[in-house]
Chain A
Amino acid sequence: MLIKRILRRIGFWIAMVLFALFAIFPAAYMLISAFKQDGDLYNVANNPFLFNLPPTFKNIEFLFTETQYATFLWNSFFIGLLVVIITLLLAVPAAYSLSRLVGRRGAQSGIAIFLVYLIPPTLLFIPLFQLITTINAANTIWSLVLVYPTITVPFCTWLLLGFFKSMPRELEEAALIDGYSRWQAFLRVALPLAGPGIATCVVFAFALTLSDYIYAATFVSSTASRTISAGVPIVLISGDIYFWQALMAATAIVTIPLAIAYGLLFGKLVKGFQTEPASGT
């Protein structure tokens, strides 16, 4: 029996390590490559996982001094910030309304909302491109600020809906009895208690903004206004010249914080997909 347990333990960890390796192998290689010297990297005979020549910061330096990467970072950050604000303003009241104020149908619309999130940009990007051109926002970061909430608002509404649903109604009802209107009960009781949910939304809204490629590639063509997602692949690969180490560094700088943030919010994401244990509560 003990043998069985030990075997099971070993089996578990082998599987765990395999899955983890699968997940981070490309990223680990990305990280190693970023610090490799040209002579080391571009040598087919070398072991790609070892530093056959000493590691160097030259590539990162190159990234920040010889390319527009810093501009991309700033653009992404600025757009992200604005999109987060717009998203919260739209999604928080919407999620609250659905969870509390519009009846059974509203509270169960979670999956439907998530599906709106899944409508691929490839379906909409051509008319949106036209729309952007018509209002003279083409090739500006404002076009992205305007359009990104179409991705973030459904996702965050879905996330917050799950969150508000799990908040006991009694607290808001107590506020009503204590002398507040529904709107005030929302402001004074529901909102403060939604702090963690809102924080999660901020992280995801930001991350979703960083992830989009198609709108960023279609709406903006001048390098100075590009975001990371479109800028890195389009601008840092010019013709046949690939600055691989710099590219890998560019990717790593964004990926690592995102992975940590998402990883820490793992539990919240699982919660967001959980349906209520007893139906029709």
Chain B
Amino acid sequence: MAATESAMRRGSAGQRRAGVGDRGGPLGGLMLAPAVIYIVALVGVPFVMAIALSLSSATIGNPSIHGFIGLQNYFTVVHEAAFPIALRNSVIVTIATLVLVVILATAESELLARDFRGKWFWQILIILPWAMPVSLAAVNWLWLLDSEFSPVDWILRQIGVLGPGSLLGPAGHLYYYGREGVGLAAMTAINVWRLLPLGTIIVLAGRTAIPHDIYEQAQVDGAGFFRVLFRITVPALAPILVVVAVFAALVVFGDMAIVAITTHGGPGYSTQLLPYWAYLKGIEGGALGEGAAVALYMFPILLAAAILALRMAYRSENG
């Protein structure tokens, strides 16, 4: 009895003195440490190594970083004919994708913001493009826009827009992945398709932060659907839409799978994109230093986008 009474008086749970388990700060540090160490080791360090590699003459055959050659890789790479094309394409595809995603996500979020029966079913359909692994999506679209058997071409032929003597003719097929313009358009389409769900989700999340009274006031004032959309919803959503644009840009700009599987950067290098080019140079070509340099050309853009995203997100978070 006495022992339990004194145990109760102390209210201890095994320990009679305050320890690390009690203090928020140190405990927090300990709980955070493993994740931080891991990320520093496998993201931070490789990032620094990427910079070091880009400044060296390392190749797969001779991978040491010791062959310091300064910014030579950067110059070599910039002067190759493929570089400006790859850069141009990366920018075009990224910007086209993000513009379309922002517009479509705003529209789609209007639909999913309402409650309706069986919503869960439509949500599954809508989210499928994002759920699909990138490479498998690329394979799917490879078949969808196949140069011979594409069902899209089939539909176009049926409605008379494709084929001899028609608008998009005279060939009966559009050879999506074998030509520059259509190839870039196809890659944009794939990116828009797979990122739209994410964009919609982010916009939906942002909409809940808009106070309801504004909508009710607009209803009382007699504003129609489109007026509410353009005068109220879109301006209020502006910071969120920037976040969507930035996330889309980050994902598209850095992606390699789609171009690797669909156009392979061809014909020639006309549909080349920076990350795939980095892969071809560094891994398949074996020139690690050059590959790293190409990858790092992407970095300033990514960083600028990231800072923008952070600013916008904090702005919308702090009303």
Determine whether the beta carbon of A29 is less than 8 Å from that of B123.
Answer: no
Considering the complex, which residues of chain B in the window 123-145 have a beta carbon less than 8 Å from any beta carbon of chain A? Answer: 123-141, 143-144
A277 to B299, CA, bound (A): 33
Contacting pair B133 A228 (CB below 8 A):
yes
Asked if B136 and A93 sit within 8 Å, CB to CB, the answer is: no
Contact code string A152-173 (vs B, CB < 8 Å = 1, else 0) = 0110010000000000000000
Q: Are B317 and A276 in contact (CB under 8 A)?
A: yes
- Contact: A26 with B261, CB < 8 Å? no
Given the interface pairs A19-B108, A121-B254, A232-B135, the reply to whether A29 lies near B310 with Cβ below 8 Å is no
Assess whether A3 is interfacial by the CB under 8 Å rule.
Answer: no
Residues of B within 8 A of A56 (CB): none
Residues of chain A lying within 8 A (CB to CB) of residue B139: 232-233, 237, 247, 251
Q: Does A52 contact B (CB under 8 A)?
A: no
Is A197 part of the binding interface, using a Cβ–Cβ cutoff of 8 Å? no
B114 touches A12 (CB 8 A): yes
A90 at the interface (CB under 8 A from B): yes
Q: B63 at the A/B interface (Cβ < 8 Å)?
A: yes
Any B CB within 8 A of the CB of A44: yes
User: Looking at chain B's contact residues, is the secondary structure mostly helix, strand, loop, or mixed?
Assistant: helix
8 A Cβ contacts from B172-209 to A: 172, 193, 196-197, 201-202, 204-206, 208-209
Interface status of A182 (Cβ within 8 A of chain B)? yes
Contact bitstring A80-105, B, C-beta under 8 A = 1, else 0: 00000000011101101110111000
Tell me if B24 and A101 are in contact (CB < 8 A).
yes
* Of B45, B208, B247, B279, the contact of A214 (CB 8 Å cutoff): B279
Task: Please report the C-alpha to C-alpha distance between residue A128 and residue B261 in the assembled complex, in whole angstroms.
Answer: 22
Cα-based distance from A280 to B37 in the complex (angstroms): 29
User: Which DSSP category, helix, strand, loop or mixed, fits chain A's interface?
Assistant: helix
In the complex, the answer to whether A263 meets B42 with C-beta atoms within 8 Å is no
Bound together, the chains give a CA A82 to CA B256 distance in angstroms of 25
> Interface size bucket, B side?
35 or more
Cα–Cα distance between A46 and B92 once the two chains are bound (Å): 36
**In contact, A262 and B34 (Cβ under 8 angstroms):** no
Check if B15 is an interface residue, CB within 8 A of chain A.
Answer: yes
Chain B min CB distance to A176 (Å): 8
> B13 is contacted by which of A42, A133, A181 (Cβ under 8 Å)?
A181
Asked whether, in the complex, the Cβ of B133 is within 8 Å of the Cβ of A179, the reply is no
Residue contact B197 to A23, C-beta cutoff 8 Å: yes
Complex Cα gap A29–B314 (Å): 42
In the assembly, what is the distance between CA of A27 and CA of B132, in Å?
9
Residue from A96, A111, A130, A213 within 8 A of B310 (CB atoms): A111
- CB of B63 within 8 A of CB of A126, answer no
Residue contact B133 to A182, C-beta cutoff 8 Å: no
Find the B residue at minimum CB distance from A32. B151
Contacts of B206 in A (CB 8 A): 273
Tell me if B283 and A122 are in contact (CB < 8 A): no
| B-chain residues with CB within 8 Å of residue A49 when the two chains form the complex | 151
5 shortest interchain CB distances as A-B pairs? A120-B254, A101-B28, A263-B124, A273-B205, A122-B275
Give 23 pairs: A residue, B residue, CB < 8 Å, sorted on A. A8-B225, A22-B193, A29-B143, A29-B144, A29-B151, A90-B34, A94-B34, A97-B28, A97-B32, A115-B309, A115-B310, A122-B256, A123-B295, A126-B295, A149-B38, A179-B12, A181-B22, A207-B131, A229-B135, A233-B135, A247-B139, A255-B136, A279-B317
